[in-house]
Amino acid sequence: MSDNPQAPSDFLDQSEIDKLLAQTSEQAQPRQLFVRADGSVLAGQAAPKVEAYDFRNPAFLSEVELRRLRLLHEDFIRYLSARLSLFLRMEFGLKMAKLTTLSYSKFTESLPSPTHLCLFKAEPLVGVGVLDLNPRLALTIADRLLGGRGHSVKAERYLTEIEVALVEDIIVIMLEEWCAQWKTEQDLHPLIIGHENNGRFLQTSPKDAVILALTLEASFGDCSEQIQVGVPYYMIEPLVKQMQARRQKDAAVSTAAPKAAWQKSYDHITMPVRAEWEAFELSLREITSLRVGDVIEMPAAILQQTRVLLNGAPKFLGSVGLDTDRVAIQLTQKLPPQGEPHPSVSPHGRKNS
């Protein structure tokens, strides 16, 4: 220690150490720059909020779009379950297990093996959809179509050509019901273009194409298996846009007043029309003294203040003149409804000063 009590200390206290550490951390922190598409740089308080985005598992649709598609496919499941139960004359239960979006490569990787795949189109849309039917469920349905009791088949094998032909009737019903749910936007017609038994070699869409995948839990007799329907998003994108536009139009509240429309029933309705002036006021003595041949003077400007009454209610102001040998009135101004005084005429018919 120094013998001079006034000499500065060679040691730092804790507060000074904390200040130095804070300055060092601020200098070491890298500055973030946010650049827009046009090249402008955003910094400071104007910087946008940054959220992490997983490119390996992207969210292709918003929550609102998925919710609308989920409601649409819930109707599809309900109608399909009722129709299959009537066709097979046995309860066919369906329940939505999952509705999500994923890439085409991940969708094909998730397909089980062995399985039965049906490739289909929905004319006139562009793209090929895939319907995955579990073999055990397909064999149980085929057994029922051949007159069996619909007991679950334990074998895990590929379907024969005869079994494929039998199950195709059920697949057609599924595709018809799926297409029917879009009838509000466009009439679709399903078309089966092929059958496969392995999803590893499918090339119906690009690997990075977005697939809308619907997974159903099916229960038929004592058989409980899954059915998957995968359609490329670019296939149904026009329908989704039409659905969004229609919903926005329905949700918009029109503030414009409805325009009056002429009805044919109005053609033969008659209404009294009268023209009048409010020239001046006379006392009762002056009125009783009037005789035939007397002349009443009126100002010339009164011709421009002719009131036209429809069914006794004043509606227009006009100017009186002659049209060949007939007296005519040219309408010059529309009067406000009764109860609202005209801005230039008093309620008693006199001009305001």
Supply the DSSP symbol for 293.
T
Residue 90 and residue 217 in one domain: yes
What distance, in Å, lies between the first and last C-alpha atoms of the chain? 103
Backbone φ and ψ for 192, nearest 5 degrees, come out as -80, 125
Query: How much is the average pLDDT of 35-58?
Result: 62
Calpha distance 173→70 (Å, rounded): 20
Query: How much is the average pLDDT of 192-218?
Result: 89
Residue 308 and residue 201 in one domain: no
Calpha distance 184→198 (Å, rounded): 35
- What are the tens digits of pLDDT across the range 258-295? 677 888 888 888 888 888 888 778 888 888 888 888 88
Per DSSP, the residues of 202-235 read --SS-TT-EEEEEEEEEEETTEEEEEEEEEEHHH
In a domain, 1, yes or no: no
In a domain, 51, yes or no: no
In a domain, 26, yes or no: no
Calpha distance 345→187 (Å, rounded): 63
In a domain, 327, yes or no: yes
Supply the DSSP symbol for 294.
-
By three-state DSSP, how is residue 103 classified?
A: strand
In a domain, 257, yes or no: no
For the chain, what is the domain count?
2
Structural domain including 313 reads 273-278+301-353
Residue 143 and residue 209 in one domain: yes
Quote the pLDDT of residue 257: 58
Residue 119 and residue 241 in one domain: yes
Residue 213 and residue 105 in one domain: yes
Quote the pLDDT of residue 173: 94
Residue 205 and residue 310 in one domain: no
- CATH assignment at residue 110: 3.40.1550.10
Residue 207 and residue 102 in one domain: yes
Residue labelled with tokens 């051949």: 146
In a domain, 112, yes or no: yes
Residue 75 and residue 148 in one domain: yes
Cis peptide before 114 (omega within 30 of 0): yes
Average pLDDT, the chain: 80
If one compares 205 and 153, the residue with the highest pLDDT of the two is 205
The radius of gyration of the chain from alpha carbons, rounded to an integer in Å, stands at 42
Residue 232 and residue 114 in one domain: yes
Helix ranges restricted to H, the chain? 14-28, 63-88, 104-110, 135-145, 161-180, 233-251, 284-288
Supply the DSSP symbol for 48.
P
Residue 305 and residue 245 in one domain: no
Residue 346 has pLDDT above 60, yes or no: no
Largest Cα–Cα distance of the chain, in whole Å? 138
Burial class (CB in 10 A: 0-12, 13-18, 19+), 167: buried
In a domain, 127, yes or no: yes
In a domain, 228, yes or no: yes
Tokens in use for 160? 């024969």
Quote the pLDDT of residue 352: 44
Residue 43 has pLDDT above 90, yes or no: no
Percentage, residues of the chain above pLDDT 70: 80
Of the listed ranges 74-83, 169-178, 184-193, 197-206, the least confidently predicted one is 197-206
Residue type, 55: F
Quote the pLDDT of residue 66: 81
